[in-house]
Structure 1
Amino acid sequence: MAALPAMLAACATTTSVPVARCDQVAHQALVGQNIGAVTLPADLRQRIISPGDTLTQDHDPDRLNVFVDPKGWIARVTCG
């Protein structure tokens, strides 16, 4: 019985939990909705971009970019 924990440890594998990634096609359903009424996954990298915002030039294919109009309505979404 004492050897059981050691045998189980030897069988254990390390798996990484998948991180939410940007899926432009799946996120197109957000267009036309108000950003205040939308809940995005907590582990999805995202940035909300309002008119006049200055954007960094870093490209992150896993990040969802949500472009909103002055009233907060989602006009377009992109990955990057």
Structure 2
Amino acid sequence: MKAIEIKSKTNKKGHLKLDLGLKEADKNVKVLILMEEELNDENDWLKVVSNNPAFDFLKEEEEDIYSIEDGNEL
């Protein structure tokens, strides 16, 4: 199966139009739509960041240099 990536935007009514001419006619296609998530809520952002393995190093003891009470270095 061949994949083609096309970036597009929805219009004000939420409709999507693909302006793409394909050389192959009368073929069945599958369309996969991936929508970017908007992190409007601070809690959503915090949840995404806290579950991202890229930040796992922050859980290590040597990275814990601030106290919860005052935010100053220990």
TM-score (normalizing by structure 1): 0.22
Greater fraction of residues in strand: 1
Larger radius of gyration: 2
TM-score (normalizing by structure 2): 0.23
Structure with higher RCO (Cα < 8 A, 6+ apart): 1
